[in-house]
Amino acid sequence: MTRWITITFLGTAAGTPTRNRSLPSILVSDARRNILLDCGEGAQHRLIQSGLSVCRVDIVLITHLHGDHVFGLPGLISSMALLGRTRDLIIVGPPGLRDMLSSSVKFLGSLPFKTFIIEVDPKESIMKIIEDSELEIYCTEARHNITDIAYLLQWRVPLGKFRPECAQRLNVPTRYWKALHVGEKVVLENGKVISPEDVVELRRCGPFRIVYTGDTSPCESVIELARGADVLIHEATFSAEEDPACIWPQGHSRTIDAAEVARRAGVRILILTHLSARYEGMEDKLLQEARSVFRNTYIANDLDKYYIEIYP
Q: Are 291 and 36 in contact (CB under 8 A)?
A: no
Q: Would residue 148 show up in a list of annotated catalytic residues for this protein? A: no
Cα 152 from chain centre: 6
Using rule CB under 8 A, residue 247 touches a second copy: no
Smallest distance from a second copy to CB 18, Å: 6
Q: Are 89 and 113 in contact (CB under 8 A)?
A: yes
Q: Does 183 bind a second copy (CB under 8 A)?
A: no
264: region left, alpha or beta (phi > 0 left; psi from -120 to 50 alpha) = alpha
Stretch that binds a second copy, among 11-19, 28-36, 214-222, 238-246 (CB under 8 A): 11-19
- The residue from 31, 32, 88, 102 that contacts a second copy (CB under 8 A) is 102
Q: Which is nearer to a second copy, 40 or 214 (CB)?
A: 40
Cα–Cα distance for residue pair 309/312, rounded to 1 Å: 7
> Based on CB atoms, which residue is closest to a second copy, 83 or 187?
83
24 binds a second copy (CB under 8 A): no
What phi and psi, each to the nearest 5 degrees, are found at residue 148?
A: -125, 130
C-alpha distances (whole Å) from 213 to each of 69, 106, 126, 186, 208 are 12, 30, 13, 34, 17
User: Which residue of 2, 6, 33, 108 would you call a contact of a second copy, by CB under 8 A?
Assistant: 108
Closest approach of a second copy to the CB of residue 289, in Å: 24
Q: Which residues contact 51 (CB under 8 A, 6 or more apart)?
A: none
Q: Which of 30, 38, 68, 148 is catalytic?
A: 68
Q: Which of residues 56-95 bind a second copy (CB under 8 A)?
A: 65-68, 71-72, 74-75, 78-79, 82-83
Taking the complex as a whole, the smallest distance from the CB of residue 103 to a second copy amounts, in Å, to 4
**Which run of H or of E encompasses 249?**
none
Cα 264 to Cα 266: distance, rounded to the nearest angstrom: 5
Strands 149-155 and 135-141: antiparallel
- Out of 5, 9, 10, 17, the residue judged to bind a second copy by CB under 8 A: 17
Binds a second copy (CB under 8 A): choice among 26, 60, 91, 100: 100
Chain mean position to CA 93: 13
Q: Counting contacts by CB under 8 A, is residue 282 touching a second copy?
A: no
Show Cβ contacts of residue 151 under 8 Å, excluding neighbours closer than 6 positions.
37, 61, 63, 137, 138, 139, 211, 212
> For a second copy, which is the closer residue by CB, 23 or 223?
23
Helix (H, G, I), strand (E, B) or coil at 264: helix
Reduced to 3 states, what is the DSSP secondary structure of residue 311?
coil
Q: Which of 107, 191, 193, 284 binds a second copy (CB under 8 A)?
A: 107
Minimum CB–partner distance for residue 298 and a second copy (Å): 23
Using CB under 8 A as the binding rule, whether residue 296 contacts a second copy is answered as no
User: How far is 200 from 213, CA to CA, in rounded Å?
Assistant: 33
Residue 218 binds a second copy, judged by CB under 8 A? no
168 binds a second copy (CB under 8 A): no
Contact with a second copy (CB under 8 A) among 9, 15, 215, 235: 15
Please identify every residue annotated as catalytic.
68
**Interface positions with a second copy (CB under 8 A):** 15-19, 22-23, 40-42, 44-45, 48-49, 54, 65-68, 71-72, 74-75, 78-79, 82-83, 96, 99-100, 102-104, 107-108
